[in-house]
Amino acid sequence: MSGSSLKSTAKLFVDTNVWKCLTYSKATLGYAAKAKAYADFVGSCVAARVDLFSSILSYSELASIIERTECDIYNAAHGERILIKKFREGIVARQEVVEELAVAWGQVEALSTLLPITLDSAMLEGAKRNFSNYPLDGYDVFFVEQMKAAGISAIVTDDLDYIYVPGLHVYTCNNDSIGRAKLYKRLA
């Protein structure tokens, strides 16, 4: 994975799981090497003037990730097993989630351009096709449609799922994705 191999005219979509690694330090506990690899890659893309893009939908996905992580941290620290809905009611805990998300999202906005999205029946039909044809989750099916609409054919992600999408160039340091891509002859 090398951002320096990308041209300054390249367009690269950055998946939420990479933003998580780059912007939310608590999510990378135990994954420092992976977080560094993505930080180095994105940094080299920025230095090479590669256009980085993200989705407004990443905000909600990142919010869910941060909230779940903060709830898990709270439960571990307090020896409890409160559910996420109850966790949200805690004023101090909720404020911590809000602050972590504000910092993380500020970095996403500083490093990338948000792709426009129109959530209409055409977008939904494309997302439904993606969901049927590829092992993508509910956010990723919309990201693929956004990339198509913007003429973007490359993504940096830690998800294995994207390797199955034809015509999509995947930049990853996920060894499972790399192994699977080799198996299915999708490695460039």
Is position 25 within any domain? yes
Is position 188 within any domain? no
Spatial CB neighbours of 120, under 8 Å, sequence gap ≥ 6: none
Is position 127 within any domain? yes
Is position 130 within any domain? yes
Per-residue confidence (pLDDT) for residue 4, from 0 to 100: 45
Is position 20 within any domain? yes
Is position 9 within any domain? yes
CATH number of the domain residue 17 falls in: 3.40.50.1010
State the Cα–Cα distance between residues 54 and 113, nearest whole angstrom.
6
Number of domains observed in the structure of the chain? 1
Is position 106 within any domain? yes
- CA triple 14-15-16, angle to 5 deg: 120
SS3 content of the chain, % helix, strand, coil (to 5): 60, 10, 30
Amino acid at 31: Y
Q: Determine the average pLDDT of the residues in 138-142.
A: 96
50 in helix, strand or coil?
coil
Q: Across all residues in the chain, what is the average pLDDT?
A: 89
Is position 45 within any domain? yes
Q: Determine the average pLDDT of the residues in 25-42.
A: 84
H or E element in which residue 54 lies: strand 51-55
Structural domain of residue 146, as residue ranges? 3-183
